Structure 1
Amino acid sequence: MGKTATSSKIQIQTLRDRGMELDLPEEKIKEILLDIGYYRLGFYWNPFEKNKSHEFNGGTKFSDVVKLYYLDVDLRNILSRYINRIEINFRTKVVYYVSNKYKTSSTWFIDPIVMNSRFISTINDYYNDKFKNNNRTIQLHHKKYPKDTYAPAWKTLEFFTFGSITKIFKSLNDQDIRKRIANEYNVLNLNKFVNLIDTIVFVRNTCAHGGVLFDFQIPEGIAILPGINFNSNNRHSLDSCIKIISYILNSVSESRRIEMDELIKDLFKNHKDNNVIRGIIESKIGYKFD
């Protein structure tokens, strides 16, 4: 199955031979395989496998695999929506505070007074012909001001990724601005704030690229903050990451934080009575039901 393409009919028979209970009509299963893909769906039946031969535990149902997949999809959509609020807010604060501190340097992201030399040396990785051609605002700026090497920061950074904005934040020479921004998210320790933002960016990138969430683990442990209790003291789990997203989001909008928390709680609650999915939510994601 690894190196040769197979038909959905063979794929269905393979699942049956490995012990999966195909509890949906065969035409529906075929439709799902052609929609999601056998390979992608394999990430979601992996926790049901009992050995390296990919045989399934007794009682493994195709419908539970599909439920786990859509749990992941729904969770990804929720997190993407609210991380976007954090991203926009963070970008705005960086641009606002730095631009107003260095009013005579509209392109401060390449100014050695403002930025460290390591970032400036990599600017062509971010600001190049592809960047200019792909962003109409930047394109129009250079058409209107052909002598400008770069557009002003408030135009340019609008089209930088969350990860790139985070790198800019880390590269600021002005520690006072960095601390001021961190404090606005109720984080007093700058190193901890960087850790939290890096965590959110990592989750954001996983969501943006369709990564699997139910067994997500953050490589670097999340910084400890007063008032946040990580279940089982696991500072790598998705549940711990969600707690951090919620904490930072609360400084952006308390109502949006409440909204996100309720959506995630309701999503997990919908699977509370399915012992299989509930077990994965608790053991893999790290969430604890009330």
Structure 2
Amino acid sequence: MGSRVPRQRGVGVYDKPPLGHADLVARMQDRGLVIPDVGRAERYVRSIGYYRLSPYMIPFRRAGSDDFRSGVGFDDVLDLYVFDRKLRLLVLDAVERVEVAVRSALTDHMAQAHGAFWYADPTHFRDVRRHRDFVTTVHDDCARQLLAKPEQTDGALMHRSALEHYLMTYGTPELPPSWIVMERLTLGQVERLIGNLKRRADRTAIAKSLGINEPLLVSWMRTFVRVRNICAHHGRLWNAVLGVSPALPTSPSVTWLADPTAIAHSPARRARLYPVLVALQSLLSTLSPGSSWAQRLKALIDEHPGVPLVAMGVKSGEVVYLPSAETVRVTPGQGPSRA
């Protein structure tokens, strides 16, 4: 937190009683939400949770009021919730692919340029304290593995982890080679490790293998970590205020929108999801040229026309895709087919 001064706490007393599912559905009806099938609504409230569902009601309310706009139905709210859930899964799929590729690029370059144990050498890092803390986490991981019950194997069906194999086979060096360590890091740890590399030439080489440049790599990784955490914790993604935004490419060598003005340039709007979706499309177009991810994103948005896309940071309210999203026609409920 540094020297940041905490905000003043409120002074009110919370005395709202907990309500049952039927009462919560009745409250929504009292506020003007059209619910043709009360029993069905109660089942959804039970399985989802009212306070997880309630933020998806906000776009459908009258300004400055808890009451819903005329004609808004329960299915409108549910459709937005379902869209966001599918969007999280789709984004998590893309982030996973990018994460795997970044780990590989980091390991390949640094190991070939500086040896298998480069991560243990402080001369490769800008912030020595942060590097020391990182090496401590690797030591701790190895210690936990040694304290744990030996991993059980079952012939070809189950093999020991790479770390277990190294620790049970070798005594020197004490720590395992980088390609074992990198696979055990979180995305956040990978992002911080790349950001702490001392030589820009190393960061540039890693970025180049991914089809982008060094400033984009550092910026986009920071944003992907934030988005991945939202997805992993089932948070609202569609209208999330990320607090960080991916840098926009200035080089024509980086795949990007033909019309970059489609992305809002105000800081508040830039820190929304849409620029991240474009950045993921850009990376996947290089890492996996045959990927249908962009087409699946387009199909998802087309299937939910009632979603207010401006909240994603789309400047005009109309999503603009990379060209790869337009090369395949996707019919809702069916797989992609060549246009």
Q: 1:215 aligns with which of 236, 239, 246?
A: 239
Shift of 1:251: 1.8
Per the alignment, residue 221 of structure 2 pairs with: 197
| Percent pairwise identity | 22
Per the alignment, residue 199 of structure 2 pairs with: 174
**Any idea what SS the aligned residue of 2:124 has?**
coil
Gaps of 5+ in 1: none
Per the alignment, residue 10 of structure 1 pairs with: 23
Aligned CA distance change for structure 1 residues 8 and 124 (closer, same or farther; 3 Å): farther
2:66 paired with 1:54: yes
Aligned CA distance change for structure 1 residues 96 and 284 (closer, same or farther; 3 Å): closer
- Aligned residue type for 1:127: V
Q: TM-score, normalised by structure 2?
A: 0.74
Shift of 1:142: 2.6
**Any idea what SS the aligned residue of 2:123 has?**
coil
2:21 paired with 1:21: no
Q: 2:309 aligns with which of 256, 275, 281?
A: 281
2:76 paired with 1:64: yes
Decide which moves more: 66-75 or 142-151: 142-151
Please list the CA deviations of residues 158-209 of structure 1 after superposition, one character each: whole Å capped at 9, or x if unmatched.
0101111111111122322211111223333x22331122222222222122
Larger proportion of helix: 1
Per the alignment, residue 263 of structure 1 pairs with: 296
Distance 2:170 2:65 in 1: 63
Decide which moves more: 51-60 or 160-169: 51-60
2:149 paired with 1:119: no
Aligned CA distance change for structure 1 residues 2 and 70 (closer, same or farther; 3 Å): farther
Aligned CA distance change for structure 1 residues 67 and 143 (closer, same or farther; 3 Å): same
8 Å contact kept, 1:115–1:172: yes
Please list the CA deviations of residues 227-262 of structure 1 after superposition, one character each: whole Å capped at 9, or x if unmatched.
431525343231211011111222211112xx1111
Number of aligned positions between the proteins: 279
Please list the CA deviations of residues 117-171 of structure 1 after superposition, one character each: whole Å capped at 9, or x if unmatched.
1322212663354674489543443333456542221111101011111111111
Structure 1 outlier segments of 4+, above 3 Å: 1-4, 128-137, 143-149, 282-285
How is 1:14-163 mapped onto 2 (pairs within 5 angstroms)? Answer: 14-23=27-36, 25-50=37-62, 54-103=66-115, 106-116=116-126, 117-123=128-134, 126-127=137-138, 129=140, 132-133=144-145, 136-145=161-170, 149-163=174-188
Distance 1:2 1:84 in 2: 43
8 Å contact kept, 2:35–2:74: yes
8 Å contact kept, 1:44–1:68: yes
Q: TM-score, normalised by structure 1?
A: 0.86
Distance 1:283 1:108 in 2: 43
**Any idea what SS the aligned residue of 1:255 has?**
coil
8 Å contact kept, 1:182–1:193: yes
- Aligned residue type for 1:263: R
Per the alignment, residue 326 of structure 2 pairs with: none
Aligned CA distance change for structure 1 residues 8 and 145 (closer, same or farther; 3 Å): same
Gaps of 5+ in 2: 1-13, 152-160, 251-255, 321-339
Per the alignment, residue 262 of structure 2 pairs with: 231
**Any idea what SS the aligned residue of 1:250 has?**
helix
Distance 1:223 1:284 in 2: 16
Distance 1:2 1:207 in 2: 32
